[in-house]
Amino acid sequence: MAQPVPEPSVLRARPGSRTETPLCQLAQGVSALSGWRRYGLSFLLGVCATATLPPVDLAPLLLVAFPGLLWLDEGSAGPWASFRLGYTFGLGFFVSGLYWIAGALLVDIASFWWLMPFAVLGLPAAFALYSGLALCATKLATNRLRLPGPARVFAFAVAWTIAEWVRGHAFTGLPWNLIGYAWSGGFPGATAVLQSVAWIGIYGLSFLTVLAASLPALLGSPSLAPMSLVRRLAPALGAGLLIVVPGVFGAIRLQTTPTVDRGIWLRIVQPSTPQTMKWDPRAAERNFRLLLDLSASPASQPIAAVIWPEAAIPFLLERNPPLRRQIGSIASERGYVITGAVRANPPPDPVKQVWNSLEVVNKDGEIVARYDKAHLVPFGEYVPLRRTLPLKKITPGSLDFSAGPGPRTLALKGLPRFAAAICYEVIFPGAVVDEEDRPQWILNVTNDAWYGRTSGPYQHFAIARTRAVEEGLPLIRVANNGVSGVVDPVGRVLGRIALDTVGYADLPLPAALGPTPYARAGDWLLLGLLLLGALPAVFRLR
């Protein structure tokens, strides 16, 4: 009777054989773990993956997290075991990566204490399904097609990237904590690698990153030990090339793309108003006066626009002409005040509908342009299935916010045309700019005071910075409290206001680049990249 042949992904060297290298021993030891040790290590590896993202920025931990996960999966008996393992990894990844969301509940903990378990564990538990399915799909492909080690790694990178893309689009989407953002922070050389998003977008960079981080898992395969030194080191060399080659081209792009000053100066104002005071009627006048005082400070350059953060005004501007005149008084003769504000349906009708908006006020106190936020936060700005779920939204007020029509370009005399993105709208790749009416810069206003001194505000700034590189457009970011700053079209931060800082900064607006390949083609380039990544599995089908 024929003997069963072991699956290629779970071959083992005999203990004490000459093919058993230290990495083989480590891989075998990891794959042999069971019970709480197995799932505990998987959870910790997920936490390691989070530590590669801002503000920790320990990108080398990618070489711990993903090889460790694949070695653990060597010991999985089947797809269901792989799903459980990937799910535990994802739980560690999202609990440590999204804990800051619970900070929003602390603002009114008396009303929302019961939501705390859902914020801390419920959302990560839901998102962990994606990483579980990615590892499960990898195991299914490996078993059905009898994939060798390298093909298994490619299949895993493809499955992980598809899971990230679906997470970024399904159920309104939340493309936060994408692995590609490991290159959006302060790790040395990260900005050079980040340039690749101008071609393949952040999802494409996630694919390259997961592939590069996973290839070293092959160094634990006993089948490599008897081979020549070059062949034994091939996985490490391949991983290095996947990062070094884009990094070299990115460095050349940075070196050959100077920041061009358009001669237009903007004043960004960060009042750092605590969220507990933001909508307090007793503090409204004080908050408004602080904005006026910061904005009216003397400037060494003519200011084309003063920019205030999301929901900076606690009043309805279109219903308060005296307030608009006060705001207009701080604008230069041909300049503007651009502010986040809550907007209601026009007077004299009573307030029946509200929008989270960006409104532009000129010197005469007139509202000359506006943008309404299109991508609203579920349970934060509206309650899904309002008639079914008897819940109130986290933001103040009894009315749900209405959604705007989507990306649009605002045109103001004396200012280059710009795209507006309010709060987390900026985290959605390919959905910030109207490419049919291409702007010259992106304005992101936000209020990260909800989240205090957590990783959330730092990650939000890094994500916004990535949109600038993807689109080839400078980005101006103004936060109530968070990280405000100016980013040029290749991702260089030209100036910033740190978290918890009350102040303003006068900074020049950089010039835009031409449309990037990603701006022209979007995620179609990602599809081509994933098809290339699937070729090793396709060859096995043949």
pLDDT in tens, 166-204: 999 999 999 999 999 999 999 999 999 999 999 999 999
Q: Catalytic: which of 48, 278, 423, 425? A: 423
Q: What is the pLDDT of residue 14?
A: 45
pLDDT in tens, 234-263: 899 999 999 999 999 999 999 999 999 999
Q: Catalytic: which of 164, 310, 359, 381? A: 310
Instruction: Flag whether the pTM goes above 0.85.
Output: yes
Give the residue carrying structure tokens 């689009």: 169
Write the DSSP symbol of residue 259.
P
Residue type, 418: F
Percent pLDDT > 90 in the chain is 80
pLDDT in tens, 330-347: 999 889 999 999 999 988
State the pLDDT confidence band at 9, using cuts at 50, 70 and 90: very low
* b/e sequence 443-476, b meaning 16+ C-beta within 10 Å: bbbbbbbbbbebbbbbbbbbbbbbbbbbbbbbbb
* b/e sequence 155-182, b meaning 16+ C-beta within 10 Å: bbbbbbbbbbbebbeeeeebbbbbbbbb
pLDDT at 517 over 50: yes
Peptide bond into 79 cis (omega under 30): no
Q: What is the pLDDT of residue 366?
A: 96
CA–CA separation, 107 and 115 (whole Å):
13
Burial of 140 (0-12, 13-18, 19+ CB in 10 A): middle
Q: What is the pLDDT of residue 258?
A: 95
Mean pLDDT of the chain: 92
DSSP, residue by residue, 482-524: S-EEEE-TTS-EEEEE-TT--EEEEEEEEPP-PPPHHHHHTTH
Domains of the chain: 17-256+523-541 (no CATH), 261-512 (3.60.110.10)
Which residues are 371's β-sheet partners?
A: 358
pLDDT at 2 over 80: no
Q: What is the pLDDT of residue 112?
A: 86
For the question of residue 24 being annotated catalytic, the response is no
Whether 290 contacts 273, CB under 8 Å: yes
For the question of residue 136 being annotated catalytic, the response is no
pLDDT at 264 over 70: yes
* Residues 394-414, mean pLDDT to the nearest whole number: 92
Q: What is the pLDDT of residue 279?
A: 84
For the question of residue 373 being annotated catalytic, the response is yes
pLDDT in tens, 452-484: 999 999 999 999 999 999 999 999 999 999 899
pLDDT at 13 over 50: no
Q: What is the pLDDT of residue 273?
A: 93
Q: What is the pLDDT of residue 397?
A: 82
* Residues 401-421, mean pLDDT to the nearest whole number: 96
pLDDT in tens, 112-168: 888 899 989 999 999 999 999 999 999 999 999 999 999 999 999 999 999 999 999
Whether 449 contacts 274, CB under 8 Å: yes
pLDDT in tens, 266-324: 999 999 999 988 888 889 899 999 999 999 999 999 999 999 999 998 889 999 999 99
Q: Catalytic: which of 48, 139, 359, 373? A: 373
CA–CA separation, 47 and 40 (whole Å):
11
Query: Which two three-digit tokens encode residue 355?
Result: 């929008």
